[in-house]
Structure 1
């Protein structure tokens, strides 16, 4: 596939965070971009406002006439999350169109560019967005494909004038094995996506393969304790080759010092809370230093970093009420998020609303979810969001609920959750999950503000 030949692009699953980034990329290149997604969201609405044509009906007659004939100028991109019985996907498959997975296209775009790739079962979106922000804010510049909407730039794709690209390297469906980075960061390797990998050993094997795909002379930055060899280790919890120390909270803001073999950067102010984000920043700083960005410019960039939407995003922040929304959907992500809230607001009663994501993940990590949700003072547990999956017999939110020790808990549907929050009127509220729990954020906000 030659990028310069592509004039038309159809994306099957255009509303996904990675797919929408590619849609914006090709639209910016002047291509005619069309797509299908089963659900209309604020993200698809944004794409439509930018001039992309989107349908929400999975039917062949929804494909525009000028996209129904295969040609060398037409590219069809699909996500593995699309059901195999999709009418639109099957039409393209059966009529010999040039079909490529999202990961293949990202690999083609980044080929020939200096690539900074950030991988990890969690932490990769914030860390890759931090790296991209440092490169942009410092004037170094970059192109970037991010796994979330950057709050600084209000988009998930950035366009640069140089040959450097920052990419979030997604382990789902082994997508990141399409990449050959110059700098690779690996933030975590916890078991996840076991519906794809089968077991934890295959997850770790895949990350080791990713690490082995560095270009000649490439640099690996890996979190201390991961079962990998080579590269430089980083941590905010224990001495490493690269580490954060003197971590402290002053007036609700995190500060820390950065230390590596050849450099120290003191009194770094981080515009995002949580020890896990200090750790993410430590890796991002090292990547920026490898690109010879000045320490003072890195400090200035991190102070101005506003994070990623739905990653510890403040919805309400007043003296009386705090409402935070987060995408956490794995037990370790939940642990990091809840720990950060408790560190920032010690002594306050914490109400958590959690929506489990996927039947398989709920089944595989039920004990972990139960343990970490016990950290809440009060829990509203929503029904499982199925995403791409069919129900698994015996797997419901009740299996988490039944294993928990917390007494102040209840199970609710999305529809009943609003009335529950209206009754509770929490002073410190955290909504967490990767499904459609984000559709409750605005109603909850209005309930709390109008009380």
Structure 2
């Protein structure tokens, strides 16, 4: 399970350039603004008084907050978008020979990757960052909610839309930032956190890292960037994350359900879409944390957020209040509708471990239901590298629909298609597997097969997000 990395391993880069001095010079253009991290940073720039334009091949829902602020978003990419622009922020998904980036360099404009611009924006303040293969978005949003409850007024940058914010950004002060530390393209190496959480560490983004050893090296390099007086929280329940604890040295702390965790959860209870856990901190009983989101994995996320909050001096009363206030993140086990006894839930899961966690949450929240999973593989490379692991994860489903691969930034790979996942699932013992390549009429096919008592769970990081709302509409609800 390896691939040739697109970029060689690197040490932590020099301090990133700040775009703040550019705010008064003209317009900052965001190329690929529809990306989760891009739209949050663009909104921060606007709210700081900067002028912003943006473009994307498929802007999507993420740009709605920008449009509400009056930002002009153009569809597609063209050098003409650079008229009047004084700097360009580029999504990590854009190739170096992208026409807008080439034109910007030819004109002598500063061109920064999103990760560098974000680092320059947040490193001047106190920074809490959440890294990990899975769970980053939810844990980041949870920690932001806790700090809001504590009266700390953080600015939160999250890789998913938080309904309570109507955005990927929670605007706050320039003194305290909470950031999702993305490992893709080694973006997190531009961050200098005072506190960090590592939720887990597994093989992913092998187009960047090559293999699991490359991923481990990347995370160790990230920890090298944590400030000398900082704190590193790692999940003791995850073998990959816990293996970082010796590397963290005196700065390391552990959380989880495992015995010996410095912040330990015991007696977890899951009741439908609510859950709670009792917390033991260094041997002291701190009472229960209650959540309005489902799944054992979210209790772990809450423990990580609580640990980081404690390192920032937050008391338990505020931690409990902030976690109870947290209402979830869009596309993270999001209930879209319940009609005729059929529930439709949408989830961003696009890695086998995430799929497994989502299915486990569904089984725990709604025991005894027929679980109908609708999956869109994300990336040809990830499908190639993990089709057997996906198949194993889907054994928890009663019915599995597999639709065509969402390519995102990638070109097709010969021999790699959605049928590979479907075939592997059949071999793994998934009883009812349906391969439906076309996404356009997939909602109709799925809706026609659903019956009262079913739980329909749509899964994936791409255009599958359109399927759940359409199924709800076909069942007689409002098309979200």
- Return the TM-score normalized by structure 2: 0.89
User: What is the CA–CA distance in structure 2 between the aligned matches of 1:144 and 1:348, rounded to whole Å?
Assistant: 37
Counterpart in the other structure of 1:416:
441
Counterpart in the other structure of 1:213:
225
Q: CA deviation at 1:265?
A: 2.3
Counterpart in the other structure of 1:59:
78
- Are 1:140 and 2:155 an aligned pair? no
Q: 1:417 to 1:184 in 2, by over 3 A?
A: same
Superposition pairs for residues 16-415 of structure 1, below 5 Å?
A: 16-63=35-82, 65-67=83-85, 74-161=86-173, 163-224=175-236, 225=239, 226=241, 227-228=243-244, 229=246, 230=249, 231-236=252-257, 238-250=259-271, 252-261=273-282, 263-317=284-338, 320-404=341-425, 405-412=429-436, 413-415=438-440
2:401·2:434 contact (CA, 8 Å) conserved in 1? yes
2:273·2:295 contact (CA, 8 Å) conserved in 1? no
1:254·1:270 contact (CA, 8 Å) conserved in 2? yes
Structure 1 residues 325-367: Cα deviation after superposition (integer angstroms, max 9, x where no partner): 0000000011111001001111110000000000000001111
Structure with more relative contact order (C-alpha pairs < 8 Å, separation 6 or more): 2
Counterpart in the other structure of 2:470:
443
1:141·1:162 contact (CA, 8 Å) conserved in 2? no
User: What is the CA–CA distance in structure 1 between the aligned matches of 2:382 and 2:205, rounded to whole Å?
Assistant: 7
User: What is the CA–CA distance in structure 2 between the aligned matches of 1:365 and 1:2, rounded to whole Å?
Assistant: 38
Structure 1 residues 59-97: Cα deviation after superposition (integer angstroms, max 9, x where no partner): 22343x322xxxxxx221001201344322221122221
1:365 aligned counterpart, secondary structure: helix
Counterpart in the other structure of 2:20:
3
User: What is the CA–CA distance in structure 2 between the aligned matches of 1:189 and 1:76, rounded to whole Å?
Assistant: 32
Structure 1 residues 201-250: Cα deviation after superposition (integer angstroms, max 9, x where no partner): 01011101111221121101001132212311111355422111110124
Unaligned runs of 5+ in 1: 68-73
Tell me the matched-pair count. Answer: 444
Counterpart in the other structure of 1:71:
none
**Higher mean Cα deviation, 199-208 or 133-142?**
133-142
**Higher mean Cα deviation, 417-426 or 384-393?**
417-426
1:6·1:75 contact (CA, 8 Å) conserved in 2? no
User: What is the CA–CA distance in structure 2 between the aligned matches of 1:437 and 1:252, rounded to whole Å?
Assistant: 23
Unaligned runs of 5+ in 2: 1-17
- Return the TM-score normalized by structure 1: 0.94
2:273·2:293 contact (CA, 8 Å) conserved in 1? no
User: What is the CA–CA distance in structure 2 between the aligned matches of 1:100 and 1:366, rounded to whole Å?
Assistant: 35
1:374 aligned counterpart, secondary structure: helix
**Higher mean Cα deviation, 86-95 or 178-187?**
86-95
